[in-house]
Every structure is written in C-alpha cells, then in structure tokens.
Homo-oligomer: A and B are copies of this chain.
C-alpha cells in the first residue's frame, strides 16, 4: 500500500479525476495554493496497492504533465504595457509534483 500525494494544476484536475475513476483509483482532493506550481493548484491524495503504483503514476503523467500551450496575450491592464504582445504566446502549463509515501496500515470503517 502506498499513499500518493500529487500536487497538480487546477486546470488538469477534472481530467485527472475522470481518468482515476475510470480505472478504479479512489482519490480525495485538498484545496491548495502556490509553491510547487503556478497559482491555482490541487493536491490529490490517492491510495494504491503496490502493484498498481506504476499505472497510477502513468495516469498522473498522462493527464498533468508540463507542456507548452499557445495562449491569447493578457491585456496590458493585467500587467506592464512593456510586456504586452498582440500575438498568442507560448506558456508552460500543467506539471505534477508527486510524493509516494509508505503506508503502515490502511483502514476503511
């Protein structure tokens, strides 16, 4: 038994939840902010048998991994005018920080 704590971006949260449910992993989500990733993240707690750990990590990677995305430029109102560009810009989105913790005992009541 392992407890996987995965900090991911909010925007990947629904997709990861659905992928976990589809393969019978059960997770709980903790509201979290800042730090490991850009603003707006969620921490998933997922319990798993040792035999399913690799598959679980694969699901997290497939649904949350860091990638580049073209986004419409932010309005200059939101930042400095210098940084404003009228063209879509490439930003890095997603990403997951994952801790696998040993579990000494697991109970369901």
Contact = CB atoms under 8 A, between A and B. Distances in A.
Interface string A85-109: 0000000000111111111111111
B30 A30 contact: yes
A61 B109 CA distance: 6
A105 B50 CA distance: 12
What number of copies of this chain does the assembly contain? Answer: 3
Q: Which size bracket describes the interface of A in this complex?
A: 35 or more
Interface string A59-79: 011001110000000000000
A18 to B, nearest CB: 12
Interface of A: 2-3, 5, 7, 17, 26-37, 41, 43, 45, 47, 57, 60-61, 64-66, 95-109
